[in-house]
């Protein structure tokens, strides 16, 4: 249905009752998916990674795809918090608490997947106490923990009246930190010279743009669903404002994708991997063109810009969901597609290749334990949000002025 405008008056924050049958069914379903994820992690831990679709060529599988997707989205979810606190857009202030909560939940879900996908989660303390500061992975330990600490502090400044004067400075620091975090995630691929699909620093701004796009889409879906299910009024100006931002972010991501592939195509050394990704990659190519570009970029833009659907919350929700689906496909193409193309150990040199997969495109099909772990991380993020909203007042109850 079309939206009408509301005039925002005062705002109260309340918990959700969480006594309906639908609430218990939702929590139970999420708990089952989490249990399946733990089973998948346990299976890979006990049986070894031979039960997965990974190999010596594909060492990051579908769990890493979901983990990176959640981590990137976690940073972008804070767009509403940054608009409210760092940029002074007070219309978004009632929605900043939910922004901080979802950001922390998504990051926890993504990190849980990575930890359980390592095969030896008991060795986590090694990663936390031994650092190779030449590695971007070591930097991320500080970036992730700092992000959680700052997001928690930000929520405290919002929810504790005595701390309200600190909301803006903390929000500014959090804005800088989350952009740094996403830059670090992009650098993992941008400085990885061993893979032809990576090794280009435009990965960092691309990941920042992906973060803004995925995070805005995820937040809009959660916001609209939460307000609809709890019978709360949602300011139409906020929905339309975030929709306009999402259009801009989707266009920016598309622009960086075009620049990335055009830059690679310009260099003779990378034309092989580009032909693989864009033309000869099979499933990878199909995901790129049909899901990432067509369904995840062009279709949402049409829905959000076409007059008949641009003001409909239902269609905006569909567009947001498509952006997330396309984003997941994009991360899959980056991670799996980048590994599937054969390594060039001595680029530009003639070498005698062995029979051990030299020059062969790697095949990857995710197994049930991998999919269970990946979906379990998503379910963990969602159940953290749902239960937190039942315990603490994250959702605003906006009263319109007479």
What backbone torsions phi and psi does residue 62 show, to the nearest 5 degrees? -60, -30
Measure CA 64 to chain center: 12
Q: Which domains does the chain have, with CATH numbers?
A: 12-239+362-393 (1.20.1630)
Cα–Cα nearest to 267, from 355, 208, 197: 197
In whole angstroms, give the CA distance from residue 296 to residue 281: 19
393 Cβ contact list (under 8 Å, min separation 6): 13, 14, 15, 97, 159
Taking phi over 0 as left and psi of -120 to 50 as alpha, with beta for the rest, 358 belongs to beta
- Is residue 345 within 8 A of residue 57, CB to CB? The reply is no
Phi/psi of residue 355, nearest 5 degrees: -90, 5
Q: Is 18 left (phi over 0), alpha (psi -120 to 50) or beta?
A: left
Q: Which residues of the chain have pLDDT under 50?
A: 1-9, 400-402
**Residue 280, both tokens:** 């000869």
Residue 78 CA to residue 98 CA, distance in Å, equals 9
Output the pLDDT for position 7: 39
Of 74, 95, 78, 76, nearest to 13 by C-alpha is: 95
pTM of this prediction exceeds 0.85: yes
The tally of CA atoms less than 13 A away on the side-chain side of residue 89 is 14
* Predicted pLDDT of residue 9: 46
Taking the C-alpha atoms of residue 23 and residue 27, their distance in angstroms, rounded to an integer, is 6
pLDDT at position 5, please?
39
What SS3 string covers the chain?
A: CECCCCCEEEEEEECCCCCCHHHHHHHHHHHHHHHHHHHHHHHHHHHCHHHCCCCCCCCCCHHHHHHHHHHHHHHHHCHHHHHHHHCCCHHHHHHHHHHHHHHHHHHHHHHHHHHHHCCCHHHHHHHHHCCCCCCHHHHHHHHHHHHHHHHHHHHHHHHCHHHHHHHHHHHHHHHHHHHHHHHHHHHHHHCCCCCCCCCCCCHHHHHHHHHHHHHHHHHHHHHHHHHHHHCCCCCHHHHHHHHHHHHHHHHHHHHHHHHHHHHHHHCHHHHHHHHHHHHHCCHHHHHHHHHHHHHHHHHHHHHHHCCCCCCEHHHHHHHHHHHHHHHHHHHHHHHHHHHHCCCCCCCCCCCCCCCCCCCCCCCCCCCHHHHHHHHHHHHHHHHHHHHHHHHCCCEEEEEECC
**Whole-number pLDDT of residue 372:** 96
For tokens 């990335």, the residue is: 260
Q: How far is CA 345 from CA 74, 275, 342, 357, in A?
A: 35, 19, 9, 12
pLDDT at 142: 87
Determine the straight-line distance between the first and last CA of the chain, rounded to whole angstroms: 24
């Amino acid at each position: 249905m079309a939206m009408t405008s509301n005039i925002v008056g005062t705002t109260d924050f309340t918990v959700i009752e969480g006594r309906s049958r639908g609430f218990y069914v939702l929590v139970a379903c999420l708990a089952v998916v989490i249990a399946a994820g733990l089973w998948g992690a346990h299976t890979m831990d006990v049986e070894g990674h031979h039960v997965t679709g990974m190999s010596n060529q594909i060492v990051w599988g579908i769990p890493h795809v979901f983990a990176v997707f959640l981590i990137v989205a976690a940073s972008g979810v804070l767009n509403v918090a940054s608009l409210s606190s760092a940029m002074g857009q007070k219309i978004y202030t009632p929605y900043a608490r939910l922004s901080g909560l979802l950001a922390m939940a998504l990051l926890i879900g993504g990190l849980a997947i990575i930890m359980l996908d390592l095969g030896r989660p008991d060795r986590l303390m090694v990663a936390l106490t031994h650092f190779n500061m030449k590695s971007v992975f070591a930097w991320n330990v500080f970036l992730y923990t700092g992000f959680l600490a700052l997001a928690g502090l930000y929520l405290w400044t919002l929810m504790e009246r005595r701390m309200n004067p600190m909301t803006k400075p903390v929000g500014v620091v959090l804005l800088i930190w989350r952009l740094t975090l996403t830059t670090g995630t992009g650098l993992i691929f941008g400085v990885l010279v061993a893979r032809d699909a990576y090794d280009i620093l435009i990965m960092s701004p691309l990941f920042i743009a992906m973060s803004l796009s995925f995070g805005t889409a995820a937040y809009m879906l959660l916001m609209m669903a939460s307000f609809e299910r709890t019978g709360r009024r949602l300011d139409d100006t906020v929905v339309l404002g975030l929709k306009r931002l999402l259009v801009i972010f989707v266009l920016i991501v598309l622009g960086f994708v075009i620049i990335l592939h055009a830059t690679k195509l310009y260099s003779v050394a990378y034309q092989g991997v580009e032909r693989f990704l864009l033309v000869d990659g099979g499933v990878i190519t199909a995901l790129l063109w049909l899901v990432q570009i067509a369904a995840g970029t062009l279709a949402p833009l049409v829905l959000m810009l076409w007059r008949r659907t641009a003001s409909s919350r239902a269609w905006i929700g569909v567009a947001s969901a498509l952006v997330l689906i396309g984003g997941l496909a994009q991360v899959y193409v980056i991670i799996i597609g980048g590994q599937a193309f054969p390594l060039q150990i001595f680029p530009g040199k003639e070498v005698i290749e062995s029979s051990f997969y030299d020059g062969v495109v790697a095949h990857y099909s995710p197994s049930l334990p991998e999919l269970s772990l990946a979906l379990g991380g998503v379910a963990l993020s969602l159940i953290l949000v749902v239960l937190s909203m039942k315990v603490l007042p994250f959702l605003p109850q906006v009263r319109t002025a007479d």
